[in-house]
Amino acid sequence: MARSAIALCIALTAILMFSSFFARSEFSAAMTLRGVAPQRLRPSALRSATFRRAMATNARVTDKRVSIHPYFQVKDGKMENFKAGFLDFYNAVDRESNCMHYSFSYNEAENRVFNREAYDSAEGLIKHIENTGDAGASVEMLHDGDAIVLEIMCPEEDVKKLEPIAKEMNAKIWVMDPDGFTNQNMEKGTDKCVSIHPYFTIKPESWEAFKGCFGKYYERVKNEPGCHHYCFAVDEENKMVFNREQYVDADALMHHIENTAPVNEITGPMIESVKLEIHGPESELAKLKSWADENGASLWTLDDNARIYRTE
């Protein structure tokens, strides 16, 4: 009996040692596949709620959220007055249940203001437009109404629902690619995220080939831990592509740029022209200024009251 008990203990010890070794090896392999060196991960990073959500495979879902992109051309000398009206919009949107995130960013050099906002559905966007009518009236005299640019990014199934209001507002509808995704890893509270807004005009003869490369980008981006969401949207009529993408901070954006460089080498010859904007907190934009200057990207400062309402 004693010999049997000893043998059993030895066997159990061996099993536990093997299981522990296998678990460590499996974790190390998983981190390597995600482009993260396991030995460089700090315990605090592993405990981070954002990091855990970003790495969880079940957090990534198809991005079907609807966004509207308003660009306001502010009248000379009226920027501070216009910014003072931001609070009216925030107070109105605070009462909405369909808004995912809502913020303003501005470019002083161009005297322009942008609204970074997204909604859970076409219906949510329509409710928002109705809800913010009074707030809009408070800044109406501060911008050039004829110079407002409005874009709506939505899944193909929402186009018909949004066409009437888009026509009424003179907004251009861009159709989102069905393979775009969100990692559902934004954290509620103050929005301090960084987004890059690339507007690509594609050579007509390369249109289908460029769209055929979307999957190559998705494959590289899907495991970037600092990416919040990533989705292409297309304007078939004008052969333009927009990339709706957002990152936790400047470092995550720079990692993304480096990570997707091999695909950019393929698509570069297909592009006729590109316009780049980077939107984020002033402290994060400072880290990106050199890259922005080298690549002709304009910088847009995120308002301090920017909000994230929902993460799912």
In this prediction, residue 34 carries a pLDDT of 30
Higher pLDDT, 274 or 33: 274
In this prediction, residue 58 carries a pLDDT of 52
Higher pLDDT, 12 or 265: 265
CA distances from 45 to 41, 51, 54, 251, 263 (A): 6, 7, 11, 15, 29
In this prediction, residue 144 carries a pLDDT of 87
In this prediction, residue 139 carries a pLDDT of 87
Model confidence at 16, pLDDT cuts 50, 70, 90, reads very low
Q: Tell me the pLDDT tens digit for each residue of 103-161.
A: 999 999 999 999 999 999 999 999 999 999 888 887 888 888 888 999 999 999 999 99
Model confidence at 1: pLDDT above 70:
no
Model confidence at 11, pLDDT cuts 50, 70, 90, reads very low
Rounded-to-integer distance, Cα 92 and Cα 138, Å? 12
Residues in the chain, overall count: 312
Model confidence at 44, pLDDT cuts 50, 70, 90, reads very low
Q: Tell me the pLDDT tens digit for each residue of 175-219.
A: 999 999 999 999 999 999 999 999 999 999 999 999 999 999 999
The SS3 assignment for 73 reads strand
Quote the mean pLDDT of the chain. 86
- pTM, full prediction: 0.82
CA distances from 78 to 48, 75, 84, 115, 139 (A): 42, 5, 10, 17, 10
Quickly list H helices, 227-281.
250-259, 261-267
In this prediction, residue 49 carries a pLDDT of 47
The sign of the CA dihedral 113, 271, 220, 121 is: positive
What is the CB neighbour count within 10 angstroms for residue 279? 25
Q: Tell me the pLDDT tens digit for each residue of 216-250.
A: 999 999 999 999 999 999 999 999 999 999 999 99
Model confidence at 24: pLDDT above 70:
no
